[in-house]
Every structure is written in structure tokens, then in C-alpha cells.
Amino acid sequence: MLQLQINGEARELPSDSSVEQLVAALQLENKRFAIELNGEIVPRSRHAATRLNNGDKLEVVVAVGGG
Amino acid sequence: MNVPEQPPQPLIIAGKSYRSRLLVGTGKYRDFAETRAAIDASGAEIITVAIRRVNIGQNANEPNLLDALPPSQFTILPNTAGCYNAKDAVRTLRLARELLDGHSLVKLEVLADDATLFPDMPETLTAAKELVADGFQVMVYCTDDPIQAKALEEIGCVAVMPLASLIGSGMGILNPWNLEIILDRAKVPVLVDAGIGTASDAAIAMELGCDGVLMNTAIAKAKNPVLMASAMKKAVEAGREAFLAGRMPKKIYQGSPSSPTEGRIS
């Protein structure tokens, strides 16, 4: 299993998971969001090809109400 | 009587025209239905949003702000609210650009402290330089200091947005004279951002010659947000028309009768 930090919380994903699989695990498919992996944005077009590694830190953000 | 036709004068920001000169935030509403109703009543075309961590445990069917306010119907202006340094602000807007499919018009705000929410101008200038270099079209929240506003324009910001008073304070325009200096010198649109409390505040901003007004709390925290949104729409339009019409000169020491002085009965 991979030990990940997602939005500051610990989470496990099967070894060899991609960003795309993480998106599926978070039920975010077809939603508007953006992902940063260890401080670098992972463009949507790279989700499938980007493998996750043990200890990776991810930020997953959405638009919310604000002024 | 017909109103003499004004030449069409849309608000132009970064080469794009907007009919409405009222920009509104989407925070502090009860729910997305109220947000949408108020924004529709305001007539705003540009609406601000914040960028925040997704709630990991959330129900996958939980409504999303951008479902209620789709980017196909509005120009979404992501902000950097809650950022206290240039690095966080730039990072937030890069995430926003990814989230919005490459959309580059953004609102930069770098705050100095969480009590006043006053802009941190050195950090704002640093972030503005980096964002402009990275291809963003930056609308920037700033102090009502004409020198700083000019510096932001020279960096390449597409609009400067001085505060009228503190964010969320509803205190109105505290320093119209500074705004007038900024307006006199600016070559990019000047929008008042923050501090509007009620319709007359928005009208005064527009009468001073501002190109637009951005507000959130004044609408969202009114007792009736939808009615206040409608009032703000009219105030911005009325203020703009008054500015274009050109107000009468002020006479401080002497009245001037509106009725004829001849032909009075004796």
C-alpha cells in the first residue's frame, strides 16, 4: 500500500496507483478540481500517466464561495 | 422624453467587454440557490470564487459552486483570499488556472493581517510580477495609495482595485480624494473593491469615475440579499450615468432659485 498525505490527511492507496486512480477513489471524476503533487500541478492530461509514490503529498482543490 | 443616447461604453478588462460594471463575490450566502438568485438580480457577469481544499469525506453528490454558477454563463474570477504571502497567492492561482481549464483572468489579493485584512503591498507587488510573467491577467486588490496603484499598473496588471474601506466592514468610501488621484493617473480600469455597505456607497464610487465596483458582503449579509443585489445594480448604473452626465458645479455660499425671479405677484 502507498501511504499518502491528501489535503493534510493520511490516506492509503494500492501500490502502483496513478493520480487518475486517486481521483476515482475520491469520487471526483467529471468534477472541477485541480491537483498538486509535492507542490507541482498535475495537469488533467497527465493524471493517468502520473504514478504515485510512498510519502507523496497531494493537494486537491475546488472552487468555493468567496469574495 | 427619451434619454439622449450614450455611446455604448462597456467595461473593458484585458480586451474583453462587459455590460455590467458590478462584480460580485459568491461567499457568505445561505446556500447556492440564494447565491444564484442574488447574482442574477445583480446582473453581474464577473463573479469571484475562492480556491479551497476539497472535503475528502464529502458525499460525491454534494452540489458544487460551479454547477450553480457555470463558467459557460459567467466570467469566473478566482481570488487568493486567505493568502498572506506572494508564494501562496501564486500557487493558489496556478491551481485555479488548472481548475478552470487555462482561464487566466484572476483577482490577486495578499493580506497583511487577519484583523484588518489590509493588503500587504510588498507581497502583492512581488506576486503581481510573477503572475504577469506567467501569463495571468491580474486584477489586483490594493491600498488606496496612488503610488502603489501606479506601480501595479506598470507591472502589467489589467485592473487596479483599491479598497474603499476594510473587507467586509461596510464602512463605505473612507478616502474619496485618494481614489480621485488614482483615477486621474490610471490607464487601466479602476474598480473599488471592499468596504461597500449600501447602494449609495456604490453610487458614490461610480460618480467619482470608477470603472466598476466589486462587492460581496454588502449583498450577502443584507437582510434580503436578492433585493440588495437589485439595489446595487441600479446604484452602479445610476452612479455611472451621473458620472457621464457631469454633475452641476457646487455653490457653497449662495443658493440659486430654480423658479423664475421675474413675474412674482406683489
Q: Residue B129: what pLDDT?
A: 98
* Nearest by Cα to A67 from B239, B170, B233, B186: B170
pLDDT tens digits, one per residue of B217-227: 999 999 999 99
Q: Residue B165: what pLDDT?
A: 94
Percent of chain B with pLDDT over 70: 96
Q: Report angle CA B157, B158, B162 to the nearest 5 degrees.
A: 75
| Mean pLDDT across B52-77 | 87
Substitution target in B34, B56, B163 with the highest count of A β-carbons within 10 Å is B56
Contact residues, chain A, for B100 at CB < 8 Å = 32, 63
Contact residues, chain A, for B54 at CB < 8 Å = 7, 26, 28, 33, 60-62
Q: What share of chain A is helix, strand, coil (3-state, %, to 5)?
A: 15, 40, 45
* Nearest by Cα to B14 from B145, B101, B162, B135: B135
Number of neighbours of residue A53 by Cβ within 10 angstroms: 13
Longest dimension (CA), chain B: 85
Q: Residue B66: what pLDDT?
A: 93
Tell me: pLDDT of A27 over 60: yes
Reported pTM: 0.92
Minimum Cα–Cα distance from A58: chain B residue? B53
| Contact yes or no for B191/B161 (Cβ under 8 A) | yes
Lowest mean pLDDT among B15-24, B94-103, B153-162, B254-263: B254-263
Tell me: pLDDT of B1 over 60: no
Looking at the DSSP assignment, which residues form a beta bridge with residue B214?
A: B23, B193
Question: Is B107 one of the catalytic residues?
Answer: yes
A-to-B residue pairs, Cβ atoms closer than 8 angstroms = 99
| Mean pLDDT across B240-250 | 94
Tell me: pLDDT of B57 over 90: no
| Contact yes or no for B75/B18 (Cβ under 8 A) | yes
- Going by pLDDT thresholds of 50, 70 and 90, the confidence category of residue B60 is low
Contact residues, chain A, for B94 at CB < 8 Å = 41
Look over chain B and give the mean of its residue pLDDT values, rounded to a whole number. Answer: 94
* Nearest by Cα to B236 from B16, B18, B85, B14: B18
What ipTM did this prediction achieve? 0.94
| Contact yes or no for A22/A16 (Cβ under 8 A) | no
Positive/negative CA dihedral, B174, B141, B18, B49: negative
Query: One-letter amino acid identity for B259?
Result: S
Contact residues, chain B, for A9 at CB < 8 Å = 56
The answer, for B33 touching chain A at a CB cutoff of 8 Å, is no
Query: Which residue of A31, A32, A64 is in closest CB contact with B52?
Result: A64
Measured CA to CA in angstroms, residue A65 lies from A20, A62, B178, B207 at distances of 26, 10, 30, 29
- Going by pLDDT thresholds of 50, 70 and 90, the confidence category of residue B56 is confident
The answer, for B91 touching chain A at a CB cutoff of 8 Å, is yes
The C-alpha cell that represents B11 in the structure block: 467595461
The C-alpha cell that represents B164 in the structure block: 474603499
B180: CB partners within 8 A, 6+ apart: B208, B209
Query: One-letter amino acid identity for A18?
Result: S
3-state secondary structure of B198: coil
pLDDT tens digits, one per residue of B169-212: 999 999 999 999 999 999 999 999 999 999 999 999 999 999 99
